[in-house]
Amino acid sequence: MGNLYIGLLHFPMRNRRGEIVATATTSMDVHDIARTARTYGVVRYFVITPLASQQQIAWRIRGFWTEREQAMEGSRRGEALELVMVATSLEETLSWIEEAEGDCPILIATSARPQQVQCISYAQLKDVVHHEERPAYIVFGTGWGMADELIETCDYVLPPIEERADFNHLSVRAAAAIVLDRVVGDR
């Protein structure tokens, strides 16, 4: 198995009317997903937004836990937040991984909507990730989902979680936890 990376995309996303927008960074997305990433052995968690003000917010949240909280008794949250790296675009993170690894990663999209292209099941992806030496990079969207052009650039697309449920509105924090557990968990 190669190294595992994850990314949280804030652009190009859709809003509730299907328009392409940059969504807002939230402290809980940075914080919760970093803790999940650390638990599942992810080596880097990219928070991706083209907006400088939003990048600052993400860095500030990281710094709060890595520079202040870490000094407090018994807390290890800083170890999780240290995985966070803020980036401007998906392309920038792909270049970063390729430079660090000497190989481009297998790029995997997640979606709350069934997709027609590059579909792979969780069991199949688990198998691919465990047998490949290349790094794997799973990206999550915010807002009302990733733009179609973005999904089409990925090697694989995972199906919605609980596809058969009549309610499919998990938080991205919950979705990221479930996806990592399904793909690399020791269940």
Which parts of this chain interact with its own copies (CB under 8 A)?
Answer: 16, 28, 31-32, 35-36, 38-41, 73-77, 79-80, 122-123, 161-165, 167-171, 173-178, 181-182, 185-187
Q: In the bound complex, what is the minimum distance in angstroms from residue 75's beta carbon to its own copies?
A: 7
φ and ψ of 4, to 5 deg: -110, 130
Strand partners, 84: 45
- State which residue, 40 or 137, has the beta carbon closest to its own copies: 40
Q: In the bound complex, what is the minimum distance in angstroms from residue 81's beta carbon to its own copies?
A: 11
Whole-angstrom distance, CA of residue 95 vs CA of residue 72: 36
- State which residue, 33 or 94, has the beta carbon closest to its own copies: 33
- State which residue, 104 or 170, has the beta carbon closest to its own copies: 170
Smallest CA-to-CA distance from 179 within 107, 113, 109 is with: 109
Q: In the bound complex, what is the minimum distance in angstroms from residue 65's beta carbon to its own copies?
A: 11
Residue 160, Cα to own-chain centre: how many angstroms? Answer: 15
Q: In the bound complex, what is the minimum distance in angstroms from residue 160's beta carbon to its own copies?
A: 10
φ and ψ of 21, to 5 deg: -140, 165
State the DSSP H helix or E strand holding residue 138, giving kind and residue range, or none if neither.
Answer: strand 136-140
Q: Which conformational region is residue 145 in: left (phi greater than 0), alpha (psi within -120 to 50 degrees), or beta?
A: left
- State which residue, 100 or 170, has the beta carbon closest to its own copies: 170
Q: In the bound complex, what is the minimum distance in angstroms from residue 60's beta carbon to its own copies?
A: 18
Q: Which two tokens stand for residue 33?
A: 């997903």
- State which residue, 138 or 177, has the beta carbon closest to its own copies: 177
